A and B are shown apart, each in its own frame.
Chain A
Amino acid sequence: MHRTGELYGQFETLEQQKETAALGMWVFLVTEVLFFGGMFLTYTINRRAFSTAFGIGSNTLDIKLGAGNTVVLILSSLTMAMAVWSAQVGKKKLVSIFLIATLGLGTVFLGVKAIEYKQKFDHHLIPGRSFDMKYHPAHPMPGDDLEELDKEKQDVDKAFAVDPDINAHGQLYFSLYFGMTGLHALHMIIGAGLLLWLIKASFAGRFTPQYNTPVEVVGLYWHFVDIVWIYLFPLLYLIDRHR
C-alpha cells in the first residue's frame, strides 16, 4: 500500500489510522495478559502447594534492589506519559528528551536485574544440578550481612524438617522467578528497541500534534510492561517478609 505523507494507503483518514493503531495495540495487550496469565497460574498453584519453599526462595531476593527497580519503572512510566503528552501538544524537543529518559530508566532496570541474576548465580540458586538452598548460608560472600544470613540458615534448616524436598520445590520457585522476570525483561528489551526507533523518528521531527500514533502506541505497551512488574514484585519479593 502506498503512503501519502503519514497516511497509509489502506486508510481514508488520519483519525481512522490512529484509532486502528490504538485498537491494535489494546488487542495485542489482551493477548499479552493471557500470555503472562499461564505463568501466573503456574506460580499460584505451586505457591499454594509449596508455600514454605516459596517463602524461603522469596526471602533470598534482595528487597532493596527489587523495590528500587519498582521505583525506577514507575518513573519510566511517568516519563513515557510525558513523552506522549509532549508529542500531542507539539513540543518536539521535549518528546526526544522524555523518550531518552524513558530508555535510560529502562536500561537502569535491566542493569539492576542483571546484578540480581548474577547474585543468584553466585549463591547456587540457578535451577539445575548445582542448585542448593543451603549453599549460600554455609558460604558467606564478602559484603554479606552475617546476621541476615544466619536467620536464612535457621529458616532453611527449619523448612528442611517440614519439607525434605525443599531443594526440588525451591527450584520450582526459582524456575518461575527466572521464567517470569526473564519474560518480563525480554519485553523490556523489546520496549527499549521500540524506544530507540521512536527516538530516531523524534530527532527527525516526525511527531506532531496531528501525527503521534507511534509514541502513543508504544506508550501503551510500555505501561503494560510496567504493570506486569507491579504484580511480579509483590508475588516474587514480598510473600514471606513478615518473618
Chain B
Amino acid sequence: MPHEDYLNARYGIRSWLLTTDHKRIALLWLGSVTVFFFIGGLFATMIRIHLLTPTGYLVTPETYNKLFTMHGVAMIFFFLIPSIPAVLGNFLIPLMIGAKDLAFPRINLLSWYIYMLGGCFVLYSFATGGLDTGWTFYTPLSSIYSNSAVTPAVIGIFINGFSSILTGLNFIVTIHTMRAPGMTWFRLPLFVWAHYATSLVMILGTPVIAITLLLAGLERMFHLGFFNPALGGDPILFQHLFWFYSHPAVYIMILPAMGVISEIIPTFARKPIFGYSFIAGSSIAIAVIGFLVWAHHMFVTGESVYAALTFSFLSYLVAIPSAVKVFNWTSTLYKGSISWDTPMIYAFGFIGLFLIGGLTGLFLACLGLDIHIHDTYFVVAHFHYIMVGGAVMGYVGGLHFWWPKITGRLYPEALARTAAITLFVGFNLTFFPQFILGYLGMPRRYHTYPPEFQVLNVLSTAGASILALGYLLPMLYLTWSMRYGKVAGQNPWPATGLEWKTDSPPPTENFDVTPEVTWEPYDFQNRPDLGLAAGAPSLAPAHGDD
C-alpha cells in the first residue's frame, strides 16, 4: 500500500499516545478494552470451573464472591460500555458523516486517558484484596461491611464515568455540527442514530452513577450516613439512584450493537433497510423510555405496589421499539440477495439471541413472575443473552465488517465463519441451561448448588469453554490479518456508507475533499460507484480467501 494513511502518516510511541486523530484513538481503545475483556473473561472462566461440582472445589466462598464481582465490574464498566462506542463509534462516526474528526479531538483523547486512569484504580482494587460487593455496590454492604478493596474500585468507576460522559458529549455535538453538506439527519446511517441515542443515555445517566458512587465512597471513607439505616440514611435510595443509571446503561451497551446490525443487514441483503425512520426513531425511543423503567430491578424491595405496577408497564413499553427493530431487520431480508459473509452470520446470531434475551426480559418485567425468578440464574441468562448474545455479537460482527476499513486488510473468511458459528454454539450451550437452572430455583451469586443441578451446570461450563475458543480465534486471525491479510479495496462488500468512499485505511484527514452527499441511505440502485451492475445485485463480495 504505497499511499499515506492514518496508520503510516507518523511513527513512534508519541505519535500514538499524543494523537488527536479519532481513528488512532479508536485503536488505543481497541487495545485497552480487549485487555479488560480478557481479564473479565478470566474471572468468568474461573466461575464456570468452580461451578462444575455442586460443592465447588476451585475457590473459597469469599473468593467466589470476588470472582463474580470483578467479572461484572471489568465487563460492564470497562468493556461493554466503551466497546462499540469508543472503538467503532470513534472510528466511524466522523467517516460516516463526512467530517475530518470529532468536534473535540483533544477531549476525545482525554476520554481515553480518563478511562485508563479509572482502569488503573480498578486493577489496583483487584490486585489488593479484590472486590466482593457484586458489581451493583449495594449499600450498606459496600459502604460499611465489606472487607474488600471497595474504595479504590469506587474511585476508579467514578473516574471512568467522566470518560463515558465526554465520549457521549463529543458524539452528540459532532453529529449536530460536523455533518458534511447534503448529510441531512434522515440520510445519517442508522449506526449514527444509534450512537446519538446511546450518547443521550451516556450524558444523562452517567453523572447520576458518578454522584451516587461518590456518596457511597464518602460514606465508606468518612462514615457518613447517606445510605446507612443505622444513621438514618436509606439504602433503598442507593438502589434507586444506582438503577437510574444502571438500567439505562444496558441501552448504552445494546443500542450501538443494534446500530451495527442495521449496517450489516442491508449490506449483505443488497437491499435498502426496511423502515429507516422507524429504526432511527426506535433508537431514540429506547433511550427515552429506558430512563423510566429502573425500579423493575427493585420489585422485591417492598416498593409501593402502584410504583411497581407503573414500572412494570413502562418496562413492557420498551419492548415495542425493540420489536420494531427486529421486525424491520427481518423485513429487510425479504426478497433480498442474502450472502452469508461473516458479519452477516453475526447479525443473524444477534437477531436470534436478542430475541430470546428480549422476550425473557418481559418475563422479568412481569410483577408476579419476577417474584419467582428474581435473583436466580434466569436473570443471569437473560442479561447475558442481551449483553453477550447481543452487544458482544454486535461488537465482534462490527469489527469484522469494518476491519478492512480499519486495517486495509481482509480477514480469512473461512476461519472467520467457523469462529462465528463456534461463538453462537458455545454461547447457547453456556447460557441456555441457565434459564432452566434459574426457573428451577438456582439463585445467582451462590458458590454451591444442590446436586440435581449438576448436569445443567456442567453443560454450561462445557459451553463456556467453546465460547472461550470462539473469542480466541478472532483475536488470533484478526491480528494475523493486519500483516498477512489480502489487501482490501475501498469498498470490499460493497456497502453504501460514506466511510466506504475513502481509502482503506483512510488518510488522516479522512477524505481528500469534503464529500457532498446526494444519495439516500442504503440505496444500492442509484449508486453506480458501488460497481454493482444493474440487474446483477448478487455480485459476490471479495472474500479474504477467494
Is B212's CB within 8 Å of the partner chain A? Answer: yes
Total interface residues on A, CB under 8 Å, equals 36
Check A20–B178 contact: CB distance below 8 A.
Answer: yes
Interface extent on B, as a size class? 35 or more
Check A24–B233 contact: CB distance below 8 A.
Answer: no
A179 CA to B102 CA, complexed, in Å = 35
Check B226–A175 contact: CB distance below 8 A.
Answer: yes
A92 CA to B366 CA, complexed, in Å = 64
Most buried by B among A10, A19, A23, A176: A10
Contact of B173 among A23, A171, A172 (CB under 8 A): A23
Is B225's CB within 8 Å of the partner chain A? Answer: yes
Check A168–B211 contact: CB distance below 8 A.
Answer: no
Q: Which residues of A contact B203 (CB under 8 A)?
A: 27, 30-31, 34
Q: Please name the residue on chain A nearest to B102 by beta carbon.
A: A10
Is A123's CB within 8 Å of the partner chain B? Answer: no
Is A143's CB within 8 Å of the partner chain B? Answer: no
Check B20–A1 contact: CB distance below 8 A.
Answer: yes
Is B100's CB within 8 Å of the partner chain A? Answer: yes
Contact A127/B222 with A10-B101, A10-B178, A27-B173 known, Cβ cut-off 8 Å: yes
Is A142's CB within 8 Å of the partner chain B? Answer: no
A192 CA to B310 CA, complexed, in Å = 45
* B267 CB, min distance to chain A CBs, angstroms: 28
A128 CA to B223 CA, complexed, in Å = 7
Contact of B204 among A34, A46, A127 (CB under 8 A): A34
Check A36–B211 contact: CB distance below 8 A.
Answer: yes
Stretch of A37-45, A79-87, A226-234 that contacts chain B = A37-45
Secondary structure of the B contact surface, majority rule: helix
Q: Which residues of B contact A168 (CB under 8 A)?
A: 225, 230-232
Check A10–B208 contact: CB distance below 8 A.
Answer: no
Q: Which residues of A contact B233 (CB under 8 A)?
A: 46, 172
Contact of A24 among B101, B104, B212, B226 (CB under 8 A): B104
* A243 CB, min distance to chain B CBs, angstroms: 22
* A190 CB, min distance to chain B CBs, angstroms: 13
* A89 CB, min distance to chain B CBs, angstroms: 25
Q: Which residues of A contact B208 (CB under 8 A)?
A: 34-35, 37-38
Check B232–A38 contact: CB distance below 8 A.
Answer: no
Check B218–A34 contact: CB distance below 8 A.
Answer: no
* A191 CB, min distance to chain B CBs, angstroms: 17
Within residues 20 to 34 of chain A, which ones have a CB less than 8 A from any CB in chain B?
Answer: 20, 23-24, 27-28, 30-32, 34
Check A24–B169 contact: CB distance below 8 A.
Answer: yes
Check A9–B226 contact: CB distance below 8 A.
Answer: no
Check A27–B169 contact: CB distance below 8 A.
Answer: yes
Count of chain A to chain B residue pairs whose CB atoms are closer than 8 Å in the complex: 110
Contact of B215 among A12, A31, A179 (CB under 8 A): A179
Contact A10/B169 with A42-B215, A45-B237 known, Cβ cut-off 8 Å: no
A19 CA to B179 CA, complexed, in Å = 13
Is A16's CB within 8 Å of the partner chain B? Answer: yes
Check B177–A10 contact: CB distance below 8 A.
Answer: no
Q: Which residues of B contact A41 (CB under 8 A)?
A: 237, 241
Is B33's CB within 8 Å of the partner chain A? Answer: no
Is A114's CB within 8 Å of the partner chain B? Answer: no
* A24 CB, min distance to chain B CBs, angstroms: 5
Q: Please, what's the 1-or-0 string for B209-237, where 1 marks a CB less than 8 Å from any CB in chain A?
A: 01110010010001111100011111001
Within residues 144 to 163 of chain A, which ones have a CB less than 8 A from any CB in chain B?
Answer: none
Q: Which residues of A contact B102 (CB under 8 A)?
A: 10
Check B224–A171 contact: CB distance below 8 A.
Answer: yes
Q: Which residues of B contact A36 (CB under 8 A)?
A: 211
Is B128's CB within 8 Å of the partner chain A? Answer: no
Within residues 28 to 78 of chain A, which ones have a CB less than 8 A from any CB in chain B?
Answer: 28, 30-32, 34-39, 41-42, 45-46, 49-50
Is A122's CB within 8 Å of the partner chain B? Answer: no
Check B105–A175 contact: CB distance below 8 A.
Answer: no
Check A10–B99 contact: CB distance below 8 A.
Answer: yes
Check A28–B211 contact: CB distance below 8 A.
Answer: no
* A10 CB, min distance to chain B CBs, angstroms: 4
* A182 CB, min distance to chain B CBs, angstroms: 10
Q: Which residues of A contact B460 (CB under 8 A)?
A: none
Check B177–A38 contact: CB distance below 8 A.
Answer: no
Check B172–A27 contact: CB distance below 8 A.
Answer: yes
Is B406's CB within 8 Å of the partner chain A? Answer: no
Is A6's CB within 8 Å of the partner chain B? Answer: no
Check A1–B226 contact: CB distance below 8 A.
Answer: no
A168 CA to B226 CA, complexed, in Å = 11
Q: Please name the residue on chain A nearest to B203 by beta carbon.
A: A31
Q: Which residues of A contact B207 (CB under 8 A)?
A: 31-32, 34-35, 37-38
* B298 CB, min distance to chain A CBs, angstroms: 15
Contact A42/B237 with A31-B165, A50-B232, A127-B224 known, Cβ cut-off 8 Å: yes
Contact of A20 among B103, B223, B224, B241 (CB under 8 A): B103
A217 CA to B399 CA, complexed, in Å = 37
Within residues 88 to 119 of chain B, which ones have a CB less than 8 A from any CB in chain A?
Answer: 99-105
A28 CA to B169 CA, complexed, in Å = 7
* B65 CB, min distance to chain A CBs, angstroms: 27
A190 CA to B121 CA, complexed, in Å = 23
Q: Which residues of B contact A128 (CB under 8 A)?
A: 222-223
A42 CA to B208 CA, complexed, in Å = 12
A31 CA to B105 CA, complexed, in Å = 20
Q: Which residues of A contact B224 (CB under 8 A)?
A: 127, 171-172, 175
Is B133's CB within 8 Å of the partner chain A? Answer: no
Check B211–A38 contact: CB distance below 8 A.
Answer: yes
Is B14's CB within 8 Å of the partner chain A? Answer: no
Check B101–A9 contact: CB distance below 8 A.
Answer: yes
Within residues 1 to 50 of chain B, which ones have a CB less than 8 A from any CB in chain A?
Answer: 20
Check B177–A20 contact: CB distance below 8 A.
Answer: yes
A32 CA to B101 CA, complexed, in Å = 26
* A53 CB, min distance to chain B CBs, angstroms: 8
A204 CA to B241 CA, complexed, in Å = 46
A36 CA to B211 CA, complexed, in Å = 7
Is B206's CB within 8 Å of the partner chain A? Answer: yes
A36 CA to B206 CA, complexed, in Å = 12
Q: Which residues of A contact B226 (CB under 8 A)?
A: 42, 46, 172, 175-176
A115 CA to B232 CA, complexed, in Å = 29
Most buried by B among A41, A46, A175, A176: A175
Q: Which residues of A contact B211 (CB under 8 A)?
A: 35-39
Q: Which residues of B contact A31 (CB under 8 A)?
A: 165, 169, 203-204, 206-207
A-B complex: 7 closest residue pairs judged by Cβ atoms: A38-B211, A35-B207, A10-B101, A34-B207, A175-B224, A20-B177, A168-B231
Knowing that A27-B203, A41-B237, A176-B226 are A-B contacts, what are 5 other residue pairs whose CB atoms are under 8 Å apart, sorted by A's residue number? Answer: A16-B178, A30-B204, A46-B226, A168-B232, A175-B218
Instruction: List 5 contacting pairs A-B, 8 Å CB cutoff, sorted by A.
Output: A10-B102, A19-B177, A20-B177, A41-B237, A168-B230
